[in-house]
Amino acid sequence: MNANDATDDTSNLALLEASPAHVQAALDANYAAWGPPLSKPDYVAREHALTLTPFSQSTLKAWVLVHKDAPDTVLSSCETYTHDCLLRKNGTTTHGKCLAIASVFTPAAHRRKNYARTMLTLLRDTRMTCALASILYSDIGPEYYARLGWAVYPSRITTLDAAVKGMLLSNNNPAIAVVTPQEVPALIERARAAVVRRVETSPSAATTPTTPTAAAAAAASFAVLPSAEKILWFHARALYYAKTLAPANATPDVLAAVGLRRLLLGGKQQQASFILWYVDFAERKLKVLLAHEEQEDDGGDGTALRELVCAARRWAAGADLKAVEVWDVDVGADGEEGVVVGDRTSSLSSLTILDGATTSADGINWVANERYAWV
């Protein structure tokens, strides 16, 4: 996400829902930053293909900031996607909508005039009045969006080599099966219920409050709820990249897989743990979107997830991928062979609460801060 501004009179500026011509102008402007390794026509085609997914059709809006007297010229642009979310504070859980902001971009000719800041302020103050929260993922460090009210949530990323010396590369574990797109809705229902339980039982913020505002929010928890449509949006993205960048690796078996699930004996599949993923053919990485562990499956002590991620590493190696990435879930220790654990330095999770009563997201516990909410 890109933003780079300084000062300008805002009285002649307007925030508009983007027309097709605005969208094309924004894509022309941001292609150099976000398009490669796709060609420009392929990049535009990818964006069009994603707009046709059920998730985008029901939640996507594109926005532009323009001068009122020159409404065809895009000064800054962004997109918003709507997710279901939860906010629990003072013992009460509120279900609502969360607006995820993506693709913030100001063309070079219009930078250092506060256009991105003005666009985001107008968006928050005039177009999010019915939303409970807003999130975004910063690629320009923690300060810029924090100044506008989106508090950054540090989180861990575990990167595991797809294969290390001595690892069995065949994925023939009879206790693990591939998840297909058709299975996603039923699995997501279980994952949503688990996130709700975690929010409602979360005792306090993850960090010790250091300000009065943070202390007031310390008993509050927030979560974006996963959805089947969102997982399949990621899968559509993977299919497009497979077709354009890695057709040789895009075998039917690879294209049909969106995760792995454990197989339990005795008809207990409702108690089986699973992971769902996005195959990033551009970076040649398998990116775990959601890791769901059932308490009944090996006691909920992390064993099941580690087993699934180990199998995912073998699967990734077989698909000619370099690594497996997992956000904010303990699936390996730093220093283990082929495992690196550290703080995320890009796509920084950022949150602002819009319920009209919470003055800051500082200190609120973001539950399930995993990749499935990313846009």
DSSP assignment of 165-200, as one string?
TT-------TTEEEEPGGGHHHHHHHHHHHHHHHHH
Q: What is the Cα–Cα distance from 163 to 118, expressed in whole angstroms?
A: 47
Mean pLDDT for 198-216 is 57
The Cα 314–Cα 317 span in angstroms is 5
pLDDT, greater one: 103 or 202: 103
Q: Which structural domains are found in the chain, ordered by start?
A: 13-154+347-373 (3.40.630.30), 157-180+226-343 (no CATH)
Q: Is the pLDDT of residue 109 over 60?
A: yes
Whole-number Cα distances in Å, 72 to 14, 36, 224? 11, 26, 35
Check residues 15 and 357 and name the one with the higher pLDDT.
15
Q: What is the pLDDT of residue 208?
A: 40
Residue 25 has, within 13 A of its CA and on its CB side, a CA count of: 20
Q: Residue 217 above 50 pLDDT?
A: no
Model pLDDT, residue 299: 60
Distances in Å between the Cα of 189 and the Cα atoms of 13, 92, 222, 275 are: 43, 22, 18, 14
Closest CA to 147 of 129, 120, 122: 120
CA-based nearest residue to 371, from 350, 351, 349: 349
Distances (CA, A) of 50 to 38, 102, 296, 304: 15, 14, 37, 33
Does the structure show a pLDDT above 90 at 203?
no
Averaged pLDDT for residues 223-246 = 96
pLDDT at 228 over 60: yes
- Among the residue ranges 156-160, 215-219, 225-229, the one predicted with the least confidence is 215-219
Q: What pLDDT is stored for residue 248 in this prediction?
A: 85
| pTM for the full predicted model | 0.90
Question: What value does the mean pLDDT take over residues 301-326?
Answer: 91
Give the pLDDT confidence score for residue 10 in this predicted structure.
79
Nearest residue to 44 (alpha-carbon basis) of 55, 54, 61, 29: 29
Instruction: Reply yes or no on whether the pLDDT at 78 is more than 80.
Output: yes
Could you tell me what percent of the chain has a pLDDT over 90? 73
What's the DSSP call for residue 220?
-
Which residues are bridge partners to 290 per DSSP? 276
pLDDT value at 218 more than 60 = no
Q: Which of 80-94, 109-123, 246-260, 339-353 has the lowest mean pLDDT?
A: 246-260
Q: Characterize the bridge pairing of strands 285-292 and 323-327.
A: parallel
Q: Is the pLDDT of residue 151 over 80?
A: yes
Q: What pLDDT score was predicted for residue 91?
A: 87
Instruction: Identify the DSSP state of 270.
Output: G
The whole-angstrom separation of Cα 180 and Cα 81 is 25
Strands (DSSP E) along the chain, which ranges?
13-17, 61-67, 76-89, 92-105, 133-138, 151-153, 156-161, 176-179, 221-224, 259-262, 274-280, 285-292, 323-327, 339-343, 348-353, 365-366
163 Cβ contact partners less than 8 Å away, ≥ 6 residues apart: 169, 313, 314, 316, 317, 338
* C-alpha dihedral (159, 249, 317, 322), degrees to nearest 10: -30
What's the mean pLDDT in 12-20?
Answer: 97
How far apart (Å, rounded) are the C-alpha atoms in residues 180 and 254? 10
For residue 264, the model assigns a pLDDT of: 76
The predicted pLDDT at position 140 comes to 92
Q: What is the DSSP letter of 19?
A: P
